[in-house]
Amino acid sequence: MSEYSRSNATFKNYAISLGVLVVILLAMAFVVSARSGEHIPSVDYRPDVDVLRESADYPVTVPAEDLVEQGWTPTSSTLDVTGPVRWSVGFATAADSHARLVQSDGDAASVIAESVDDAQPVGTVAVGGREWRHYESDDWGALVLEGDGVTLVVAGSADVDELAHLAEGLETDGTDEADETDETETAAE
């Protein structure tokens, strides 16, 4: 007589099916854990800066190179030179927020309105020896500086400290470094 029983066959098939499912789940867990590190795509905004310097009738302001070393990732760069020159560069901040620099020689009121979203003026913030107008809403903030035919807006979902950090790290062509170079060359003559 045969020792085959339907209950043994069912258990054997159940065990095989369960084993296959466990292998699939382990493979999926491995794939997910291997890809779990967040990867934020980065862009190189320097080519836009080069074109901006050729097109703009004002000293160009750019973010400091050491922002990337501090954990800030440039995520977008858009440049429009067909009308008023407008450049926007966006960053994922070190604290996982978003901030961007907008720079334009267009109508200041329009540039500000487009960049601050629905944020309202709440005062000023001193950054780098200059007073920036501070705008704020529930989920958006902005710092605005107008002058010399150009409007600078630092805005985003980042808190005001991060926005101020970006504003403080801005470098304008023809200031500080160029002045120091001129003084050194004059002293050498």
pLDDT for 131 equals 95
- Per-residue pLDDT, 128: 86
| Tens digits of residue pLDDT in 127-139 | 988 999 999 998 8
Measured CA distances, 64 to 3, 61, 73, 156, 167 (Å): 80, 9, 12, 18, 10
Q: Do 64 and 165 form a contact (C-beta atoms < 8 A)?
A: no
**Residue 100 CA, distance from chain mean position:** 6
Q: Residue 83 has what pLDDT?
A: 86
- Tokens found for residue 154: 């630092």
Cβ contact 132:143 at 8 Å: yes
Within 8 A by CB and 6+ apart from 52, the residues are: 60, 79, 81, 85, 87, 103
127: nearest Cα among 101, 109, 104: 101
Q: How confident is the model at residue 13, as a pLDDT?
A: 83
Question: What is the pLDDT, as a whole number, of residue 68?
Answer: 83
pLDDT of residue 67: 86
In whole angstroms, give the CA distance from residue 91 to residue 138: 20
Q: How many CB atoms lie within 10 A of CB 140?
A: 17
Q: According to the model, what pLDDT value does residue 69 have?
A: 87
Structure tokens at 69: 């070393």
Residues in the chain where the model's pLDDT stays below 70: 1-9, 34-39, 175-189
